[in-house]
Amino acid sequence: MDTRRASGVSRASELSARTASQRLPPTVVNEVDRLLAGRTRDIRLNAELARRFRARSWPQASKIIRAWMIWVVVLDLLTLAVNAGLLPSETVRSMLLPASLLPPAAIVTAIVFLKPRGIWLEGIALHAGVFLILLSVALVGVNTGGEYYERHLTIMLFVAVTAIIIFPVPLEWSIAIAVFALGLYLVFQMQNPAITTENALAGALFFASGVVATVVARRTAGILAHKTFLLELRDRSRLTELTDANSRLELLARTDPLTGIANRRWMMETLSRVWSDEIAQSQGAAILMCDIDHFKQLNDSLGHAEGDRCLVKVSGIIQSSSRDDRDQVARYGGEEFLILLRDANQEDAVSVAERIRRRVEAASLPNPRSSVGAYVTVSIGPAVLDQGGATVSSEGLQRQADEALYEAKKNGRNQVIVYGPSLQVASK
């Protein structure tokens, strides 16, 4: 079938193509249904779903990570500024070197998350960045000593907890942040001269329970995010199916089921749209009424199956004989076709009509009882609305084409007669 045959149903076809591009593979749909049918806590995304989830969630996740890193830098600098104004200069100097680790670590990590990169690179950047930030906060207290020692270790744990809560990252990454924080806390507390080993272990165990609870909460949030994503995929799949079904129904409603070209209903809508937009009056237009000669005799002699085959062949010839996508073809009823030529004058209309007539005749489709000859022929009546000419409605132009077709059939068939004051044969 000629590609331009789709012009009669282009809107439905384009919609169908869009939904096809959005349709999920059956394996993904089946996996989504399987996961949603089970318990929420058992949801585990396979490789393909994990890839899709990452693609969907990465923009938001990267913004959160970048914002967190920037705020950590801002708070670090503000804290140093406040300490510089309140604390002895010697104490401040002891804080400067370890505190200087934080800004570059956070900034580099933020830069990595400016655009999508390999997941391994993002993982390394985030783990290294968070570890250096935690190490920087802890070393500020360790270097300063005294009351700042344990205070900054507690602050370090708080920073880690906020990262675990806020970062929408894989659970393994959150666990790694928790291990970094608890490991640093335990190592530095074991060296804290102000407390005993037992107190250091007790403190680490106390904070570990809180950090573990935070990780569990992060896991729950991650599972719920995965479930939300799966629900979105299922809704998208169902919406795509519904849209596709609607587009197929629209296609069926606008298409002649036998020939595959547009039907009368679609052509009437097109004519109404073209005339309401004043395209016809501004650019000129032509309507061609085309009728297969002695089609009833063909059905009577060769049977309706051969008649249907003839209709399909002739519709294809008409479609392939049109100029381009400006021309639309519809089966108007029975053996009659209507061709709309936009941006056309009388010369264009006659050229297209004669090309159709010659090609149908050259196709040598059998019609043994035709009075014209042994093969199928067509009669065509064009009516032309010249650019800038008198205003004529689409119904009026169609009536003119009908009159021209009637004259073509009355004068012997297998000819083109253009509507006009004298209705003369244009070609034969």
Q: Which CATH superfamily is domain 264-427 in?
A: Reverse transcriptase/Diguanylate cyclase domain (3.30.70.270)
Q: What pLDDT, on the 0 to 100 scale, is given for residue 8?
A: 41
φ, ψ for residue 81, nearest 5 deg? -65, -45
Asked if residues 229 and 195 have their Cβ atoms less than 8 Å apart, the reply is: no
Residue-wise pLDDT tens digits, 38-52: 999 999 999 999 999
* Tokens of residue 147, six digits: 């009351």
How many other CB atoms sit within 10 Å of the CB of residue 94?
Answer: 19
Longest dimension (CA), the chain: 118
Asked if residues 142 and 149 have their Cβ atoms less than 8 Å apart, the reply is: yes
SS (H, E, C) the chain: CCHHHHHHHHHHHHHHHHHHHHCCCHHHHHHHHHHHHCCHHHCCCCHHHHHHHHHHHHHHHHHHHHHHHHHHHHHHHHHHHHHHHHCCHHHHHHHHHHHCCHHHHHHHHHHHCCCCCCHHHHHHHHHHHHHHHHHHHHHHHHHHCCHHHHHHHHHHHHHHHHHHHHCCCCHHHHHHHHHHHHHHHHHHHHCCCCCCHHHHHHHHHHHHHHHHHHHHHHHHHHHHHHHHHHHHHHHHHHHHHHHHHHHHHHHHHHECCCCCCECHHHHHHHHHHHHHCCHHHHHCEEEEEEEECCHHHHHHHHCHHHHHHHHHHHHHHHHHHCCCCCEEEEEEECCEEEEEEECCCHHHHHHHHHHHHHHHHHCCCECCCCCCCCECCEEEEEEEECCCCCCCCHHHHHHHHHHHHHHHHHCCCCCEECCCCCCCEEEC
Q: Is the pTM of this model over 0.75?
A: no
Would you kindly state where each structural domain of the chain is located, as residue ranges? Answer: 3-236, 264-427
Crossing angle of helices 102-112/47-86, nearest 10°? Answer: 150
Q: Which amino acid is present at 18?
A: R
Q: What pLDDT, on the 0 to 100 scale, is given for residue 247?
A: 76
Q: Tell me the β-bridge partners of 384.
A: 286
Q: What pLDDT, on the 0 to 100 scale, is given for residue 274?
A: 84
Q: What pLDDT, on the 0 to 100 scale, is given for residue 280?
A: 59
* Tokens of residue 108, six digits: 């580099």
Residue-wise pLDDT tens digits, 58-94: 999 999 999 999 999 999 999 999 988 888 889 889 9
Catalytic residue among 150, 335, 354, 407, which?
335
Q: What pLDDT, on the 0 to 100 scale, is given for residue 250?
A: 79
- By DSSP bridging, strand 336-342 and strand 327-333 are antiparallel
Angle at 234 between CA 228 and CA 239, to 5 degrees: 125
> What is the arrangement of strands in the sheet containing 285-292, beginning at the earlier edge strand?
327-333, 336-342, 285-292, 378-385, 416-417, 425-427
CA gap 404, 408 in Å, rounded: 6
Q: What pLDDT, on the 0 to 100 scale, is given for residue 6?
A: 41
pLDDT, tens digit only, all 428 positions of the chain: 344 444 444 444 554 445 455 678 889 999 999 999 999 999 999 999 999 999 999 999 999 999 999 999 999 999 999 988 888 889 889 999 999 999 999 999 999 999 999 999 999 999 999 999 999 999 999 999 888 999 999 999 999 999 999 999 999 999 999 999 999 999 999 999 888 999 989 989 999 999 999 999 999 999 999 999 999 999 988 888 887 788 778 777 889 999 999 999 999 988 988 888 776 567 789 999 999 999 999 999 999 999 999 999 999 999 999 988 889 999 998 999 999 998 889 999 999 999 999 999 999 999 999 999 899 999 999 999 876 656 788 899 999 999 999 999 999 999 999 997 655 555 55
Q: What pLDDT, on the 0 to 100 scale, is given for residue 326?
A: 82
335 classed as catalytic: yes
Q: What pLDDT, on the 0 to 100 scale, is given for residue 180?
A: 95
- CA-nearest of 172, 154, 180, 162 to 68 is 162
* Tokens of residue 35, six digits: 């996961």
Q: Which amino acid is present at 109?
A: T
**Residue 9 region, left (φ>0) first, then alpha (ψ -120 to 50), else beta?**
alpha
